[in-house]
Amino acid sequence: MPFTVREIESPDPATRVAAADTALRQPVEDDIGEKMVLNMGPSHPATHGVLRLVLELDGEIITKAT
């Protein structure tokens, strides 16, 4: 049964990591802060199930509350 040998080249791991790191560090248009959406409350048992606050934060600043 004949077989063939092929040489496969691959970059070393450090080069691959550096290339991936460069690709991930490309600036994004809205890259000012980390955006998070949080459920807030209730802080009192009487409001449980009645009140729901959803906060959208940009870093430490609340940008939207619904």
Q: Where are the domains of the chain?
A: 32-66
Give the chain's mean pLDDT: 76
Tell me, what amino acid is at 52? R
pLDDT at 7: 83
pLDDT at 36: 85
Confidence of residue 23 (pLDDT cuts 50, 70, 90): low
Across 6-23, average pLDDT: 73
Structure tokens at 55: 């906060």
List C-alpha distances in Å: 26 to 2, 17, 22, 59: 48, 15, 7, 19
**pLDDT of 29-61, one tens digit each?**
655 567 888 888 777 777 777 778 888 888 888
